[in-house]
Amino acid sequence: REDLWVREGKILNPEKLFFDEKGSADVQLDCKDSIIAPGFIDVQINGGFGVDFSLATDDFKSGIDLVSQKILSHGVTSFCPTLVTSPPSVYHQVLPQISVRNGGAHGAGILGAHLEGPFISKEKKGAHPEHCLRTFEAGAFQDLLATYGSLDCVQIVTLAPEMRRSSEVIQELTKRGICVSLGHSVANLSQAEEAVQHGATFITHLFNAMLPFHHRDPGIVGLLKPPCPSGLAFAVFSVIIHTPLQPLWAPWSNGSLVLVTDAIAGMGLAPGRHTLGQQVVEIDGLNTYIAGTKTLSGSVATMDTCVRHFQEATGCSVETALEAASLHPAQLLGIEHKKGTLNYDSDADFLMLNDNLYVQATYIAGEEVWRQDASGM
């Protein structure tokens, strides 16, 4: 029930304006009882609208521009384009074409790439092509550098912590400010704990592509036993076929749970066959499978759909649902001082939503970059 003050792309503490500058607002906007929330941050999105970030194409830059523009209507103001397990040649071609940039009318901001694989478990590869999987056994961190080619634009790396010499790699990545996530793994609890001790702070799509919780050894899932390691977060798909949500949000709603879309190229398109890197996938509702199988391979859910479904499925508060898509991913990436909140001096990336959490307008740096028109489009 308050005013939100914005100046020069930042959320303003109006006290100085009132008392020192004796000023007032140049422009006033009636939000008509909308909910004002921080812009959503998607840290795992493989593509959308026909664009696959794991395919090296001549028009890759135009593809990533298209996705960044389209997701504004779903409330996403920043994202991490995600590459699934691919041949080294794909990383060498694609990663130099991804650059960290601010958002605006051209589209959502890019925070850096999320590299999911190829240093993952063969047993829990999921939709990742087995022939592209790699290990650290020969040169550890040098193997990773040779595979990716460059880490200049990389924000997150998902790897399996049970792989030999993974601790060396985790330490080297965290030294460079890169978030290490555990996933596609058969790690036991001891191996997972060791990875956290060396700097891992995230779990990629909890419960999916990892050992199930077992009373003798709970595996990676066991990291979430109270007390949860400080700073550890986990991602969930907010579509019910992937993970039952009700048991998750209450124990770990204090900042650990991060909503991701894990969206593929088919997001925003009609059902049919699409790609996920080297694989052909089929859309079934909001879920996707490797063609001809029941192996899950991402989703086609948008972030606003994820937020609504999470709130409905768990009965959590609106604030909790919104924070899982804004504050929590910002905390994961260490950018909560500028994104993911409506605090003074934060970037003025925010949304207007109705009471049912449908996006009405999207703002980046205080500028309107998308608004639902009268026809509802």
Instruction: Give residue-wise pLDDT tens across range 116-131.
Output: 999 999 999 988 999 9
Q: Looking at residues 1-9, what average pLDDT do you find? A: 92
Residue set of the binding site: 116, 127, 184, 205, 208-209, 216, 242, 296-298
**Per-domain residue ranges for the chain?**
39-347
The percent of residues in the chain predicted with pLDDT above 70, rounded, is 92
Please say if 33 is a catalytic residue: no
Q: Please report the pLDDT score of residue 248 as a whole number.
A: 54
Q: Does domain 39-347 have CATH number 3.30.70.260?
A: no
Q: Please report the pLDDT score of residue 226 as a whole number.
A: 65
The percent of residues in the chain predicted with pLDDT above 90, rounded, is 70
Q: Looking at residues 51-65, what average pLDDT do you find? A: 95
Asked if pLDDT for residue 47 goes beyond 60, the answer is yes
Q: Please report the pLDDT score of residue 345 as a whole number.
A: 97
Closest by Cα among 191, 188, 211 to 200: 191
Q: Please report the pLDDT score of residue 81 as a whole number.
A: 98
Q: What is the mean pLDDT of the chain?
A: 90
Asked if pLDDT for residue 247 goes beyond 70, the answer is no
Confidence band of 256 (pLDDT split at 50, 70, 90): confident
pLDDT tens for 273-328 read 888 888 888 887 767 888 888 787 888 999 999 999 988 888 889 999 999 999 99
Q: Please report the pLDDT score of residue 251 as a whole number.
A: 52
- The CB-based long-range contact list for 219-227 (8 Å cut-off, 24+ gap) reads 219/185, 219/186, 219/187, 219/188, 219/189, 219/192, 220/161, 220/182, 220/183, 220/185, 220/187, 220/189, 220/192, 222/189, 222/192, 223/189, 223/192, 223/193, 223/196, 224/251, 224/252, 224/256, 226/251
Q: Please report the pLDDT score of residue 278 as a whole number.
A: 87
Q: Please report the pLDDT score of residue 241 as a whole number.
A: 44
Closest by Cα among 86, 73, 90, 145 to 117: 86
Q: Is 141 helix (H, G, I), strand (E, B) or coil?
A: helix
Closest by Cα among 200, 198, 217, 220 to 209: 220
Asked if pLDDT for residue 254 goes beyond 60, the answer is no
Residue 48 parent element (H or E)? strand 47-48
Q: Is 173 helix (H, G, I), strand (E, B) or coil?
A: helix
pLDDT tens for 327-361 read 999 999 999 999 999 999 999 999 999 999 999 99
Q: Looking at residues 5-22, what average pLDDT do you find? A: 92
Q: Can you give 19-39 as a three-state secondary structure string? A: HCCCCCCCCCCCCCCCEEEEC
Catalytic residue chosen out of the listed positions 30, 58, 59, 262: 262
Q: Looking at residues 159-167, what average pLDDT do you find? A: 97
Q: Please report the pLDDT score of residue 181 as a whole number.
A: 97
What is the value of pTM for the model shown? Answer: 0.94
Asked if pLDDT for residue 153 goes beyond 70, the answer is yes
pLDDT tens for 205-243 read 888 888 877 667 788 988 887 666 767 888 887 554 445
Q: Please report the pLDDT score of residue 238 as a whole number.
A: 57
Residue set of the binding site for Zn(2+): 116, 184, 205
Residue set of the binding site for substrate: 127, 208-209, 216, 242, 296-298
Q: Are 221 and 207 in contact (CB under 8 A)?
A: yes
pLDDT tens for 197-208 read 999 999 998 888
